[in-house]
A and B are shown apart, each in its own frame.
Chain A
């Protein structure tokens, strides 16, 4: 299982890829030319890497390789300059990040979400279940919670209106649960056509990218399905880290490794100071 530590002095060409790099390259291949992707503002540490670092690096990588007109809406910046990302997480670095547009308020972003102007979004969560429903609101009983989390932000909008949501989260039994305690974001709801029957447009989460494996959702049942295992990870190891059993495909490939070109761009051009993929 590759780690995320990296020796910056080592020869880029000979150093094997980290898990973050494998995941980033895999997500980059999902980005199509012309896509508009929503990336949240994140928090810190590992949560920042999952919600912000990996998505921004992946979209930038896609821009440089096969999707030159892909773009990002980050915070309230539309098309921020991904060739020059903030060097730290202080307010003034965000304020001065250059972008094509900084609309007068976030209501503009909300309106764009509701009219389905986005193609892709990135979400992370405290809980995700078999049908890809997310919880970032409360653990336990909503009215008498064991843990009160942050609320909902625009994560309900992402799943309601964005055609290709990508969930980025570490594999963990407490996170991958049979049913979330609170449905903040409606994924495939109870499976089958229950999402559409609730009045939502078709779509819902498309991929769940973790540090051990990548999942998609089985057409028809809409249950989470194992799509690929990262190099060195076994299916048993994955099952041990989940509270439910995902659907198994007929063929279970390894997650493709980043190419030399992808690794070189991530390490030397996009994130040379290891700010985005630090942990």
Chain B
């Protein structure tokens, strides 16, 4: 097995402006926020972002002016309302959106996983989602029954970034036994061309080997793995810690204006050299541990 453990900066180094980036996480869970702050720090721009239910990671990238195109099922802030920076980007014309429903996005990632150019769906017949996107959603007839179907183009990304729970130095990443599974991270990972995973904790390979059915991202698929405790902050990592309500509230407060959003990014992304410095900035590990869920230490037991 090849060792893939590296630093965040090394792992993200190949991602250049103009890339297509698939992001894992769903709503306020496991958004790869630490990785996104690193990309913002480096000034990467002109990204096409593919995502499931996008919140903080996509909205911060939008605030940085780093997204030129978004393809996904949702962008908002879950219980906190609309995504202010993404909304400004779309309404101002900086971000072009291609909307997809859930079955459509699932079909797109499954097609990429299977090495196919498309998979069929029949969800979007008659909808404006299809009408506005003839490039990626095309009508055809079922060759067996003749019924109308729609081909949705594979979601092929140059790079995929997922924040996972725990993994080993070989890139094997595992689920806890009890988790919130309302996401498609495994599917996004299986569709990846170059997969970068950040995890809460690196654990010994011996622990991974004892319970291989919990490995949802095999190291075989992974290019680089990075240990980033609280790497989803200010979003949650289910089974590990909850979302940071005070920080999210502050983010939204500042994001009411473009200038306010820039001061946020300056403070929490651009002026901090790395994730350790970010953790120190938000009060250190002791402050973040206050977000830990009860019995966190038993999450992977």
Contacts and interface: CB of A to CB of B under 8 A. Distances in A.
Q: Do A and B bind each other?
A: yes
B81 interface: yes
Interface in A189-210: 189, 194-195, 198-200
B178 to A, nearest CB: 7
Interface string A217-238: 0000000000000000000000
Given A91-B180, A106-B181, 4 more contacts: A43-B76, A44-B79, A148-B97, A154-B102
Interface string A104-117: 11110110011000
Closest 7 CB pairs of A and B: A198-B126, A199-B148, A76-B182, A91-B236, A156-B101, A148-B90, A154-B102
Contacts of B97: 148, 151
Interface residues of B, number: 60
A43 B178 contact: no
Contact of A200 (B80, B81, B126, B242): B126
A152 B184 contact: no
Interface of A: 41-44, 48, 75-77, 89-92, 94-96, 102-107, 109-110, 113-114, 137-138, 142-157, 160-161, 182-186, 189, 194-195, 198-200
B126 A91 contact: no
25 contacts: A41-B27, A41-B78, A44-B80, A76-B181, A76-B182, A76-B183, A91-B236, A91-B243, A94-B238, A95-B179, A102-B179, A106-B181, A107-B106, A107-B110, A113-B103, A114-B122, A145-B91, A146-B91, A153-B73, A154-B101, A156-B101, A184-B128, A186-B126, A199-B147, A200-B126
Interface string B241-258: 011000000000000000
Given A102-B181, A106-B181, A157-B102, A142 B132 contact: yes
B260 to A, nearest CB: 19
B74 A89 contact: no
Interface string B108-130: 00100000000001111111110
Given A43-B78, A113-B103, A156-B124, A105 B243 contact: no
A221 B1 CA distance: 65
B93 interface: yes
B187 interface: yes
Given A145-B90, A156-B129, A92 B123 contact: no
A189 B82 CA distance: 27
A92 B238 contact: yes
Given A91-B238, A149-B82, A157-B101, A114 B123 contact: yes
B127 A199 contact: no
Nearest to A101: B181
A182 B132 CA distance: 10
Contacts of A90: 242-243
